[in-house]
Structure 1
């Protein structure tokens, strides 16, 4: 498994001029810096400025100043920079693919997934924002005499906090709809992968987004975490369930809204009628994209007794054949983990399962000869509830296989978790798959796909149930969450107090008759 090929990562570096160009956007006055490390090599990667609490306050001040004129523009006029952004991202994808690989250690094919997502998701909202934000008429208090419409006002200054695992897709996916809705954004990407987010901001400015509307700050949560919540009119967060709960509590104390996409221990159900070759190919992607460092990837696979042995054999063979390397090209099937703490967690989960009697079907060991944070894609069987890999989110290239005998059992076990982010069902009978999907307590469910079908359906909402999140990104809600709905109603011809001289009793009888007639003729 994973032959160590000659690595381009050992002969290429990030150009200092590129780092300088991107970091100029960071709001930081102290002169303090931090140095990131390349996961592929363990060597220093880039020196980045660090922001303080006062820098965050300045970012909000600048953002609010820029937001006033931006909000005064029509939604249709705000679209233009984002249409250009879409084209620039696709045209210059080689540059950002290199940056993503350097910062995360992921395989290039997985880096491309998020570059494509940044472009495609932006295009969706650029096309849809004017429609989603237009005035919407509704039935007034007195049909014909009361004219009512709903209007969406921007929140103001939005905080977007994103993690390291998808460093361009997530910052772009949350910031772009906020900006199109008329807000300014103060962004806090993870420092390790900040250059990817800074590249997106740089491209947006190049595409015509006014300066000051999308401002990044960098630093540790202990220093700038609270100021990012306290200065915002809304918070969009992606990360762990524990941190998401703390952010929601602090936002609630200020009576501001927040949305959060959080953790997952996502189940995959393989029915007895599944096409096993197609299922195995999909399972490899579903379990090991970005080395399993994906909130919506599969960590629990429930396989029907009738096909368990055949599936396990095919799946294990496919996993053993996966190519691991650190090349800056498309030759790798899987790349590196990003942080040492992730490698430690993966190793601990596998070692714990092995010591307690689980069977390692494929993988199960680190690969330091390829790079310091590489770990083999790993398949476990005979996993029991006492093992950490059973219920705890691993967030790495580890998946556990379980048998089931009927679909009721499969659904029950799929739902037996505090998480509810994503799920996957494999069957030749799509109607059956849909019936099962609607019984699974997860925000998205993919049939005959692991995660991409639901995620990339940008017109549909995406988010978690239970401890997997609050609110939704994508779809109408993904943009309208950044707005305040305002109702404007004007009264014409006759006042709600009735014609001049009408007494209260007559008014009550008239309104009662009107209510009955409106029901009868389905006016209401």
Structure 2
């Protein structure tokens, strides 16, 4: 059965107003000598033309950001969060506009664009409510109780160089930039050229809501042209992208000892326990595997199904996948949209074709759909995938999932962990307590029980990031803001110095201090 399609309402819906494009393009930090035309993945037709930034433009952006950062950091935290408190209401009022932009620049289904929209609204609101508490000076225990008084202070890093990916450009730009700005930094931000419009849109909106224009600079261009000055001038680097790209950035900043955070690739496993609810798990797998056509670093690419449930679960999942609706409409009818870049279509096609050639079995999908749009590929399920196939170990980053049967719990945990990656995982079971015990044994930064990725990712009070080669550092939680700060300890000594007072000798002083250790332990002062 062919994957069904949802017809679009008409070609006109795949355009944006020229006045909007011109206004957004004006926010690119560029001398304007060169431009680039961005196509929409849905049709391949031109969507917008924006200026390109040169290496000199990047350096000039840092100069403007650095000058603006000093005044911005001097503002009380309560003033710095105000634009972001206003942002929540503004996003609600202009929801349809930003959903259109996200869809048109990425090719994703509207229901998946909605996830980006919700992420920006809720994550920025989370930090706007908590930045004051997270950044306030804290009293810490001193060396000598009552005599040593200690404060922990938080200072902004300065200017953050932030590189955001193309797959979730609105969310993975703004949701990191918001806490960086609230912490008192300025930001020089490089979105992917293909998907820069949503970042320009939210910058335009925040400036209207009171954000100083120069504290957030956006540069657009090829990494070969602007990558070096972007990294070389940063006081902190935040990167979301491939593991290969993260390693290159770490090597680039190492000589300057500049701190960084990296969220990188994943080959994320899903474990279906023998007691899992077949219908709930199969429907949950659709979201876990095929959100944004699988172009999601925390989506599932490996699925392990217990032998007791395999013959019931896999046919039901296959039926659901074959029935998924693909389309280009700016509405919520389509269940999956397009890939974003031609290189992703090529990678997906290469992985599937090689696997099939070497013995893999296609249960659903397995082919491109140029009849819908130039970059569409059907949601695909494969079995009989082995370790010699690129699809087994390498991140595909597309709508392709390999299904494996397993018998033993220790075996499946070992197989789930048998990867250099450790970003996300998913466990499905009716026994949540058992699921938590399994989750604790999986080497991944986030593990979701009876969900694919959203339960952990969207719980903003808890950190999110990768183990092993899936990243360094975390976004969300306190760390998602505090990583953009330098911590300083200020200690003052009172009444008695840290040496023998008066005529007391060091022998006596050593005895007194030793006895004080015993006393402080007994009184639980230390």
TM-score by length of 2: 0.98
What is the match of residue 262 of structure 1? 264
In structure 1, distance between residues paired with 2:451 and 2:304: 15
| Contact kept? 1:9, 1:326, Cα under 8 Å | no
Q: Work out which of the residue numbers 210, 214, 220 in structure 1 matches 2:216.
A: 214
Q: Deviations over 1:271-311 (max 9, x none)?
A: 00001111011100000000000000000000000011111
Native 8 Å contact 1:296 1:451 kept in 2: yes
CA shift for structure 1 position 212: 0.5
Provide the C-alpha distance between the structure 2 equivalents of 1:374 and 1:303, rounded to a whole number of angstroms.
Answer: 28
Q: Does 1:26 align with 2:28?
A: yes
SS at match of 2:415: helix
SS at match of 1:402: strand
2:403 to 401, 404, 413: 401
2 CA distance for matches of 1:322 and 1:86?
Answer: 32
Please state if 1:80 is matched with 2:87.
no
Contact 1:287 1:298 survives alignment (8 Å): yes
Q: State the alpha-carbon separation in 2 of the partners of residues 381 and 91 from structure 1.
A: 46
1:390 counterpart (371, 389, 392):
392
Structure 1 gaps of 5+ residues are none
User: What is aligned with 2:172?
Assistant: 170
1:387 CA displacement? 1.4
Alignment partners' CA distance in 2, 1:327 and 1:126? 34
Q: Give distance in 1, aligned partners of 2:36 and 2:453.
A: 35
TM-fit CA distance, 1:75: 1.6
Q: What's the counterpart of residue 35 of structure 1?
A: 37
Match of 2:4 in 1: 3
**Which residues of structure 2 form unaligned runs of 5+?**
none
**Offset at residue 5 of structure 1 (A):** 3.4
Residue 343 (structure 1) shift: 0.7
Cα distance in 2 for partners of 1:74, 1:508 equals 46
Alpha-carbon distance between aligned partners in 2 of 1:429 and 1:56, rounded to the nearest angstrom: 53
- What is the rounded CA distance, in whole Å, between the counterparts of 1:151 and 1:362 in structure 2? 56
Contact 2:3–2:365 (8 Å) recurs in 1? no
- Paired residues in the alignment total 524
Q: What is aligned with 2:483?
A: 481
1:333 matched to 2:311? The reply is no
Deviations 1:407-442 (A, max 9, x none): 111100000111110000000001110101010000
Aligned equivalents of 1:9, 1:259: Cα separation in 2: 42
**Correspondence list, 1:148-227, <5 A:** 148-227=150-229
CA RMSD of aligned residues (A): 1.0
Using the alignment, how far apart are the partners of 1:98 and 1:361 within structure 2?
Answer: 33
Aligned to 2:291: 289
Q: How does 1:311-350 map to 2 (within 5 A)?
A: 311-350=313-352
* Residue equivalent to 2:443: 441
- Greater Cα offset, 12-21 or 396-405: 12-21
Aligned twin of 1:90: 92
Helix, strand or coil at the partner of 1:302: strand
Alignment match, 1:470: 472
Cα distance in 2 for residues equivalent to 1:358 and 1:410: 20
Equivalent-residue separation in structure 2 for 1:320 and 1:117 (angstroms): 29
TM norm structure 1: 0.99
SS in 2 for 1:379: strand
For 1:417 and 1:42, locate their aligned partners in 2 and report how far apart those are by CA, in whole Å: 36
User: Aligned partners of 1:399 and 1:90: how far apart in 2?
Assistant: 35
* 2:465/2:471 contact within 8 Å kept: yes
Q: What's 1:47 paired with?
A: 49
Aligned to 1:362: 364
- Check whether the contact 1:89–1:203 (CA below 8 A) recurs between aligned residues: no
1:240 aligned residue (242, 257, 269):
242
Q: Tell me the residue number matched to 1:503.
A: 505
Partner of 2:282: 280
Contact persistence 2:345–2:377 (CA under 8 A): yes
Cα distance, 1:30 vs. partner?
A: 4.2
Distance (Å, rounded) in 2 between the aligned partners of 1:282 and 1:203: 35
3-state DSSP of counterpart to 1:375: coil
CA contact 2:6–2:334 (8 Å) conserved in 1? no
Q: What are the superposed Cα offsets for residues 104-141 of structure 1, whole Å, 9 maximum, x if unpaired?
A: 10000000011010000001111111111111111111
1:76 Cα deviation after fit = 2.1
State the shift of 1:250 in Å.
Answer: 1.1
Matches for 1:101-180 after TM superposition, within 5 Å? 101-180=103-182
